[in-house]
Amino acid sequence: MFLVFFLTSSKLTEDGKVKKRRIGVDSKEGGQRNCSNSCCNANSWSSEIRILSRDLPRLITNFKRVLRGTNGAVTKTGLTSALASGTVVGLTFVLAGMLSTSCIDRMALKELSVIPFYALTGLVGSIIRSLLGAILQFSGFCELRKNVVAKPGPTLRKIAVRNYLDNYDMSLVSVQLTTLITSAAYVYIF
């Protein structure tokens, strides 16, 4: 499952590199994801597609319009892609299970019921990450480079002033919260 997620997220990141530069969104050179980033960043699809979509991003805490690349911003396209990424992970889980075990028909049907659960998990993870990003991460507009950046500096106009966690820390915290919430939901539902 991680391999599918890693490969698809890396492809989305690489494909969007040029467009991100054109619209003024700060991104790492190289455009690839490492294993740590892929495993901890449950909303990679949502983040990449949100930045590249034509939707106007809105801050998740107050729904005011913000610049593309602002931490805590969401779009309809980004949230839809979070559902899609969860669905892909769910399908991968079910297909891997069906190919690696000989399961009876009842068990196969039960396995299929986890696909919508994974889809919602993708959405919940994206919402949690966006909420935490809006509350705990710095966003600023660099007047020199004319783009949104995630680190404070002397030539920045502040968008969000808190600077408690960086992207990797945010990913780790959001994955932990998402895992806790969805694990409890899984036990209750299944």
How far is the CA of 109 from the CAs of 47, 94, 98, 115, in angstroms? Answer: 32, 10, 11, 11
Measure the CA–CA gap between 57 and 7, rounded to whole angstroms.
Answer: 26
Range of the structural domain that residue 41 is part of: 2-189
Residue 136 vs residue 3, higher pLDDT: 136
| Confidence band, pLDDT 50/70/90 cuts, at residue 34 | very low
Q: How confident is the model at residue 29 (pLDDT cuts 50, 70, 90)?
A: very low
Is residue 36 predicted with pLDDT exceeding 50? no
Q: Is the pLDDT of residue 88 over 80?
A: yes
Dihedrals phi, psi of 36, to nearest 5 degrees? -60, -45
- How many domains, in total, are found in the chain? 1
